[in-house]
Chains A and B, each alone.
Chain A
Amino acid sequence: MSTLPATPTAALDGILQRHGHYPTELLQILIEAQDLEGWLPAPTLTYLAQALHIPRSRVEGVAGFYSFLYTQPVGRYRVLFSDNITDRMLGNTELMDALCRKLWIEPGKLSEDGLVSITTTSCTGLCDQGPGMLVNGRAIGQLTHRRINEIAEMIRQQRPLDLWPAEYFQISDNIRRKDSLLNLDMKPGAALSAVVEMGREGWLQEVQKSNLRGRGGAGFATAVKWASARNAAGEPKVIVCNADEGEPGTFKDRVLLNSYADLVFEGMTLAAWAVGASEGFLYLRGEYRYLLPLLEAVLARRREAGLLGRHILHEPCFDFDIRIHLGAGAYVCGEETALIESLEGKRGTPRIRPPFPVTKGYLGRPTVVNNVETLAKTCLIALGGGEAFAASGTAQSAGTKLLSISGDCAEPGIYEYPFGVPIARILEDCGASDTQAVQVGGAAGVCLAGYEFQRRIAYEDVPTAGAFMIFDGTRDLFDVARAFVHFFAHESCGFCTPCRVGTSLLQGFMDKLADGHGAKADLADIDWLDRLLKNASHCGLGSAAPNPVIDTLQKFRPAYERRLVSLDFEPAFDLDAALAEARQLTARDDPGAHLQTHEEEEK
């Protein structure tokens, strides 16, 4: 232990103080404590546990859960390559290899001088300007070999991030098509004034008339959710904005938060008015931490303007404020009960439901969890009325939908369409040609083949949280499915048996096929695993995990069959691959260091 630096207790005390020594703030405290040394040494965890009067085992449990918290040393420059399939299609693998070679390190390992560590991370929401990376939490897009060369040089020179070229950190909105929401130019507070005039009951009725449904994908009626929370016993009630936009291929919330934050915060306040809530949280995914200063500034401005805090718009019984909680690299926290656990400073494990958050959510209180886009949309209803909102879109899917479009097309970015738009129309607008397939709704969504492009974006046809990834004729849909399977295995929280083990087994089977050892029997096992995951998982992550495989097996089966050796059974064990470590240790790669396979011997 003596080699560890002395725990900077004064700095830790400051962090604890700022968070009122509340154990519910544990995740936020750990994130800030990590900023001190870049990682969380064991004595730091012990110190925090003692100061918060909670068991150390709980602190360790939380620190071990989140991908962006480190209980082992990482580099002073911590480079994370975004590893969505769209990043891979833009060559992120090659770029990461190049950077590793230039800096003489292996992926996932810390350089001997502690300067740099490089590895991959799940989709960072830069698919429209990939390949993307995070360097010490700051996002860089549009990576090229030239940028990689420059980055390697700046890391070697230990240049502080603030002195890196500013254009590296410029993230564009790339808004390509605007409709009612993105065209809305609202003076902050205008929607709030309108609903205060309507009264709480009148406002809720407008939302009901609008037929607004949740934009996070599930499509639950917003008015029903709000009314349930309003009628539930328990105070103070809570409004949570789910900005844990982790679904691979989705980035519309990034744009809404970057350029329409007032609409989002106003939407939260509108929800608070309807529900009678006084506490609000924006749960911001760790990948978007770079948006934090901007968002805090908007919140400060709104407090100043009397749009947050006590007696909002001089209403005697309207108190509401918003705090921003950061996530730390856990896709599962997009599931609303896992998100609430995380807000309470715990491991992001989904709860048993019922009870649902509207009756027992954050700290057991009635809690509304809404998507960023859903909340922004409520401003339209407040200003234009429920009926006008319901008039656009389709009968079951009112209003518009933001799509995050990426992959093989000329103009990736944000497109806002009224619900009911056909896939083919979207493909035409974004300049996609020779399209083989579209993955709608992210890894958990649905893979559509050419014969389905007349289907429409709507809850009743192709529902989506907003991801829209395009694959042209040159892409191998097996690789796409395999990338998503790896994603789910990495992001499984590990709570239930089927998801914890099943996603890893599925990954093993997909890798076996990719390595050229697949047999027909494997496809049967994959099929069986798909069904078990779908049926037996504890939450939506596990039941959605097999979706990419189910769809591509059904629609692009030749992509799998091409990889099978024509046998009923083929062992996964590869004698030659088992010698890889020996070859590395002896620095040999000559023919004599390889085992011939039996087929080759026969020739």
Chain B
Amino acid sequence: MTKQFLLDGQPVPFEDGQTILEAARKAGHYIPSLCWHQDFPPHGSCKLCIVKAAGRHVSACATPAKEGWEVESNTPEMNGERRGLLQMLFVEGNHFCPSCEKSGNCELQALGYEYEMLTPRFRHFFPERPVDASHPDMLLDFNRCIFCELCVRASRDVDGKSVFALTGRGIHKHLTVNAESGRLADTDFSKDDLAARICPVGVILPKGRGFAVPIGERTFDTETIRSKTLKEEES
């Protein structure tokens, strides 16, 4: 007999070791995420996947499912917290969707729509984060970084290069590259790296291509992030 837990009242089967997020998505239930990626171990930093399991708040991506648990996810309370977390991510960086090449393909933006974020709510931090355009093929716009560390992990664990790392602490934490000059051009980064195409927002972008697909026809313009994620899970 397979084990199961209840997600918003619906039974979800799981195997030992599976996390709440993995089991839920497999069973066709959407739990949002930004820093989670199926090819990497859970990271647990964005907290978008936060759920209430047996009365306690936990990251669904990092918490192994337990038999008989009652898990709350798609509730006004949890979705309200997710909206708040999204507002935090928007105000701490500099996100100007209308002029961003990633608009329509950006997971942060898509989640903003999904969770009906209508205002930034909090004061903007307006951090100073200069753009690095030194590399011939790729552009780094640090203004949009959400610190999911997917590029860090992809470059280190898959590309074997450690082109990216985080430095600084707290609200001053920021992305840096593996060069004394601090310039991407002085690293061994390549446009063919996994790290070059894993950014869920618009930090790491290819040069020489702009608005090839018009806004309005892009990924999340035609389909919500919820249905796209669940479709990918099925295939």
Contacts and interface: CB of A to CB of B under 8 A. Distances in A.
Contacts of B167: 57, 60-61, 63-65
Nearest to B86: A497
21 contacts: A55-B156, A55-B165, A56-B178, A57-B165, A57-B167, A57-B176, A57-B177, A60-B167, A61-B166, A64-B167, A64-B176, A66-B169, A347-B169, A493-B170, A494-B168, A494-B172, A496-B46, A504-B170, A505-B123, A535-B57, A536-B81
B170 A491 contact: yes
B23 interface: no
A498 B170 contact: no
Contact of A65 (B42, B85, B123, B169): B169
Interface stretch (A42-50, A96-104, A468-476): A42-50
A492 B88 contact: no
A489 B170 contact: yes
Contact of B178 (A57, A352, A503, A504): A57
A525 B91 CA distance: 15
A501 B166 contact: no
A42 B180 contact: yes
Interface string A319-355: 0000000000010000000000000000100001000
A55, A491, A501, A508: residue with the most chain B Cβ atoms closer than 10 Å: A501
A330 B173 CA distance: 14
B168 A503 contact: no
Contacts of A46: 180
A538 interface: yes
Nearest to B34: A497
Contact of B170 (A63, A494, A505, A572): A494
B171 A352 contact: no
A58 interface: yes
A494 B59 CA distance: 17
A523 B46 CA distance: 26
B154 to A, nearest CB: 14
Main secondary structure of the interface of A (DSSP, over half): helix
A493 B168 CA distance: 9
Interface string A219-230: 000000000000
A: contact size bracket: 35 or more
B69 interface: no
Given A61-B166, A489-B170, A535-B57, A55 B178 contact: yes
Given A61-B166, A508-B123, 14 more contacts: A42-B180, A55-B178, A65-B168, A352-B42, A489-B171, A491-B170, A493-B169, A493-B170, A495-B147, A497-B89, A500-B171, A502-B88, A505-B88, A535-B81
Given A58-B162, A64-B167, A505-B122, A494 B147 contact: yes
B163 interface: yes
A277 to B, nearest CB: 28
Given A330-B169, A494-B168, A55 B85 contact: no
Contacts of B123: 505, 508, 572
Nearest to A495: B45
A63, A489, A493, A505: residue with the most chain B Cβ atoms closer than 10 Å: A505
B170 A503 contact: yes
B217 to A, nearest CB: 31
B62 interface: yes
Nearest to B88: A501
B: contact size bracket: 35 or more
Contacts of A57: 162-165, 167, 176-178
A538 B48 CA distance: 12
A67 B168 CA distance: 9
Contacts of A508: 122-123
Contacts of B45: 495-497, 538
A536 B47 contact: yes
Contact of B179 (A56, A61, A65, A501): A56
Contacts, number: 121
Interface string B42-58: 10111110100000010
Contacts of A61: 165-167, 176
Interface in A59-73: 60-61, 63-67
B151 to A, nearest CB: 11
Contacts of B172: 494
Nearest to A46: B180
Contacts of A500: 92, 147, 170-171, 173
B178 A497 contact: no
A52 to B, nearest CB: 13
Given A57-B165, A505-B122, A536 B44 contact: no
Nearest 3 A/B pairs, CB to CB: A64-B167, A57-B165, A55-B162
A499 B84 CA distance: 12
A496 B44 contact: yes
A494 B169 contact: yes
A45 B173 contact: no
A490 B170 contact: yes
A45 B147 CA distance: 23
Nearest to A534: B57
A495 B180 CA distance: 24
Contacts of A489: 170-171
B89 A501 contact: yes
B113 interface: no
A532 interface: yes
A140 B7 CA distance: 57
A546 B162 CA distance: 36
Contact of A538 (B47, B165, B178): B47
A60 B81 contact: no
Contacts of A451: none
Interface string B148-166: 0000000010000111111
A56 B89 CA distance: 28
Interface in B93-143: 122-123, 125
A330 B42 CA distance: 25
Contact of A64 (B42, B147, B169): B169
A152 to B, nearest CB: 30
A550 B110 CA distance: 34
Given A57-B163, A57-B164, A494-B147, A504 B47 contact: no
A65 B173 CA distance: 8
B168 A64 contact: yes
A500 B44 CA distance: 13
